[in-house]
Amino acid sequence: MLEQAIRLFPALLYTKIQPFFWLYWALWALTLGVIAFVFRWARPRLRERVLKADSHFRAHAHRVRFRSHEHEDAAERRERIALTWFFRFWTNFASAPSLATFSFLVPLYVYWRQMEQGPHWMSMEAVAGLWMMPGVCYGGSMLLSFVLKRVFKRLRPPLQKGDFGHKLVTDPSFPSGHSLTSFCFWTMVPISASLTHSSSATVMALCVVAATTIALTGLSRVYLRVHFPSDVLGGFLIGAIWCGVCLTLLPGYLAR
């Protein structure tokens, strides 16, 4: 049964996505333009307050990580290694390879389970289609992150020798791509469960998992000093906008 699902799933994926492909990217381009305009308009008006808040929260994150003040010499800093590895796990868990893998495997797994369980009041194609929403939303968010970083061209936070990502992270800082894409993927997971009439307990459990994963992803980016807090907040706000756009389009097509 699993082999059959793997063989049939690519055709199902094409059948579900092809009808709205061009409309999806038209809405994506419109969303990109609106977000770029709004954030460019807001940036000079909020700049001083944002920089002050960034400085405050970065200093707090540094004290949590190193048990010291930011200006102290690197040799005097004592890093909480276990906590750093904890946040490294979450930042890697929200990376592009992880989310891309989940985007494909989750609807494939649902499709396979539907084939095994037999008839359902919703067709197995409709159920699997609705579980494609996290991946489809994630795909657009990934490209939003790539383009918006090059629109705003914000420099990354200054790194000190020994910091995670030292001399490795060179792409622009705003918005946080991990925060944006993780928000979009995981927000859609409990929504997909709700639309396919999963039990209330399942939906609530997925809400807790999604909220925890999103929050820890954002915290990890600040803790590891690869993003400003405003990059993370901006990623969440952009993610919320894109999720709203996807929710107006995707369910009607993917549930067919």
With beta carbons less than 8 A apart as the criterion, state whether 225 and 159 touch: yes
Tell me, yes or no, if 227 is annotated catalytic: yes
Nearest-10 crossing angle of helices 229-254, 133-152: 140
Tell me, yes or no, if 166 is annotated catalytic: no
Phi, psi of 155 (to 5 degrees): -70, 150
Amino acid at 139: G
Tokens of 24: 């999806």
- Catalytic residue (choose from 60, 71, 166, 178): 178
Cβ-Cβ contacts under 8 Å for 140 (sequence gap 6 or more): 24, 28, 184, 242, 246
- Catalytic residue (choose from 56, 62, 197, 227): 227
Place of tokens 């807790």: 208
Phi, psi of 253 (to 5 degrees): -85, -45
Nearest-10 crossing angle of helices 200-223, 21-66: 60
Name the nearest CA neighbour of 230 among 47, 92, 87, 63: 47
Query: Hey, which residues are catalytic here?
Result: 178, 227
